[in-house]
Structure 1
């Protein structure tokens, strides 16, 4: 019996606009399928996704995680595009400042920024939950934290979005994004040196830690991408959907108002149901099998995080937003050795944001039609009109 074939395009407008149905269509074919349009295998169910992510020696990232070789060459040198000892060494440099202890000093600033934002939005009562809510904390904290010069600061959002848009590598969106990333490469070539970076910033810290782990200044410049590229979009995506889910599920907001201890779990449920990063891929380093399906060396396997987080064989009523569910095992931040480096900071930002609104807002409502951001890999709104009722 052959591998089930999906004939649609995972990166099409239709799939991006209707991902829940798209994921269901993929899972209906099976846990391991062939993506005809992408010329790759895909794992669609929770156990198979976790299997791939737990076996990084077989399903490697060092050949890139995009579906396009030119993109993978352009992004070579970042932590996420590395394996084994090289990955571990790079991660010791880039991840250390983002561990819980490394971001403790930010807690007061995050809290105060979130509280001030809550006050402003309650005064307004109507706002765009993307530009006036979801983007505020990441843009004010991460951009300053990374510590680029003014040119870099102005381009971080565009660079971050482009990194995810190039993951297909073949449609018009990815071609435009590729040119944006060429601009990032030129920026790193010119400004990827310690003297251009803010004292105490994360990017500057890379240049201080890199020599201790055997990396050159050129290596450090490439590792800067770990902060520049993925540090904004995922948090903005989840924060926007947080507003959407509570506006469309008033019972869950009422539950949260009466049970403030549920705030951290509510954040995890938002991340599960949103799954900001729809998919990355892995290169198959040796002949292997996934759930009985033979996978040949040299193939690509798409890891569909968004589908795994809605797998009905693993989750009870997976399409339901439930802030009380046991959501510990979601893969919204990835899994295994490539677990999202910035997840601790993202959690602190979203928890503070939700706490600020929980103590001020009686009700959330949609105040118009949301608009979906057309991005190949990030699931997000580009506009989300919201109305809140103050307490």
Structure 2
């Protein structure tokens, strides 16, 4: 019997696909549990069940050789939290994660809420603003470097560095190449910071240095781990915060429900990141032949786990293209990954979003949004601009 390999010529990285990805994801899901991408010589895994399975099988789906499509960048990025397997991954994550446990984050709850109040005060006073630059970027860029103990003089490049880091996870296309000089600047700065240790005492960054000095992780990993704290905590949060304004502005009846019942905010945020998943997905390398729903993927294959497609999979979700803040099983989304590589910083992202949405819900009757402009980016699904007016 001849088995036909499900294959496609769909290019997920054209401008058209980046700006409007969901029809391509739907087509990939209709083709099979895994689909060979002719353009990139890798498998795309577009359905929920198979992505979930892969995220819980690190022995077959390895992260240690990098999680991007470009082997050049994978070689450079290997060894950090996202690009490692147990037992190395467990040791690194334990050091990073101790700053980000629910108990540790509770110490920052009041600080985060105070900053949320201050920002919403300012935006209510202004009335009209851009939800991306003035809201979604302003909050994490002001907050995260403070927690990390980042030098004040080195904050202007943070968003460019984060964008280049995520772009590099795609293929070696124009976006990746354009970000290479920026990424080089980030690597040089991280190396310098690891050497000078110019970090505020008792900050997350200083605690990481102390763990290195105590021998918990190798000294040569310090620049990578400092970057692991910074890069994932910015672009994905910016994406989810701007999506929140857009979705709640265009669904006023759901915003009204949140205003009337603030306990809906956690579920609403889960639905926001399910519906507009910030990072479209990450790659793995198969260490052995692996079957997905009757299809065998050979060892040595690069496999692209499409979180954003899985979060719209009609086989798992009821009416997946509807935005519904009361969706009953929405906590099962894969926007932050799952399993041992689940996003270590998701607790901080949730704390930021919950604080901002609660403060807006107290003050704002209606969110009016204009025409959104979407980013052209290899990995991050996000808005570039969103004219917004708050009606109190």
Which ranges of 4 or more aligned residues in structure 1 deviate by more than 4 Å? Answer: none
Please name the residue that 1:272 is paired with.
Answer: 274
1:71 aligns with 2:108: no
The alignment partner of 1:130 has SS state of: helix
Describe the shift of the 1:103–1:194 C-alpha distance in structure 2 as closer, same or farther (beyond 3 A). Answer: farther
Please name the residue that 2:258 is paired with.
Answer: 256
The structural deviation recorded for 1:242 is 0.3
Range moving further from structure 2, 236-245 or 76-85? 76-85
- Distance in 1 between residues matched to 2:43 and 2:181, nearest whole Å: 28
1:150-169 pair list within 5 angstroms: 150-169=152-171
**Of 175, 185, 202, which residue of structure 2 is paired with 1:200?**
202
The structural deviation recorded for 1:214 is 3.8
Q: Deviations over 1:309-359 (max 9, x none)?
A: 000110010111101112110001110100001100000000000001101
- Distance in 1 between residues matched to 2:44 and 2:160, nearest whole Å: 28
1:108-257 pair list within 5 angstroms: 108-193=110-195, 195-212=197-214, 214-257=216-259
The alignment partner of 1:79 has SS state of: coil
Range moving further from structure 2, 182-191 or 295-304? 182-191
- Distance in 2 between residues matched to 1:45 and 1:195, nearest whole Å: 44
- Distance in 2 between residues matched to 1:372 and 1:208, nearest whole Å: 41
- Distance in 2 between residues matched to 1:345 and 1:376, nearest whole Å: 24
**Of 327, 330, 340, which residue of structure 1 is paired with 2:333?**
330
Please name the residue that 1:7 is paired with.
Answer: 9
Contact 1:71 1:178 in 2 (8 A): no
- Distance in 2 between residues matched to 1:122 and 1:182, nearest whole Å: 39
The alignment partner of 2:232 has SS state of: coil
Please name the residue that 2:350 is paired with.
Answer: 347
Contact 2:197 2:209 in 1 (8 A): no
Range moving further from structure 2, 87-96 or 102-111? 102-111
Please name the residue that 1:362 is paired with.
Answer: 365
- Distance in 2 between residues matched to 1:103 and 1:154, nearest whole Å: 26
Please name the residue that 1:61 is paired with.
Answer: 63
Contact 1:52 1:59 in 2 (8 A): yes
The structural deviation recorded for 1:212 is 4.2
Contact 2:149 2:199 in 1 (8 A): yes
Please name the residue that 2:373 is paired with.
Answer: 371
- Distance in 1 between residues matched to 2:138 and 2:110, nearest whole Å: 16
Please name the residue that 1:32 is paired with.
Answer: 34
The structural deviation recorded for 1:211 is 4.3
The alignment partner of 1:196 has SS state of: coil
Q: How many residue pairs were aligned? A: 389
The structural deviation recorded for 1:82 is 0.5
Contact 2:372 2:385 in 1 (8 A): yes
Q: Deviations over 1:163-216 (max 9, x none)?
A: 111112321001112222222221222221363222122122111123445423
Contact 2:12 2:21 in 1 (8 A): no
- Distance in 2 between residues matched to 1:83 and 1:247, nearest whole Å: 41
The structural deviation recorded for 1:254 is 1.4
The alignment partner of 1:283 has SS state of: strand
- State TM-score, norm by structure 1: 0.96
- State TM-score, norm by structure 2: 0.96
- Distance in 1 between residues matched to 2:190 and 2:237, nearest whole Å: 24
The structural deviation recorded for 1:251 is 1.2
**Of 74, 79, 82, which residue of structure 2 is paired with 1:80?**
82
Contact 1:159 1:228 in 2 (8 A): no
The alignment partner of 2:188 has SS state of: helix
- Distance in 1 between residues matched to 2:305 and 2:327, nearest whole Å: 24
Range moving further from structure 2, 80-89 or 158-167? 158-167
Contact 2:144 2:230 in 1 (8 A): no
1:278-293 pair list within 5 angstroms: 278-293=280-295
- Distance in 2 between residues matched to 1:183 and 1:137, nearest whole Å: 24
The structural deviation recorded for 1:230 is 1.1
Q: Deviations over 1:347-383 (max 9, x none)?
A: 000000000110111111223x211111100000010
**Of 14, 18, 21, which residue of structure 2 is paired with 1:19?**
21
Please name the residue that 1:92 is paired with.
Answer: 94
Structure 1 gaps of 5+ residues are: none
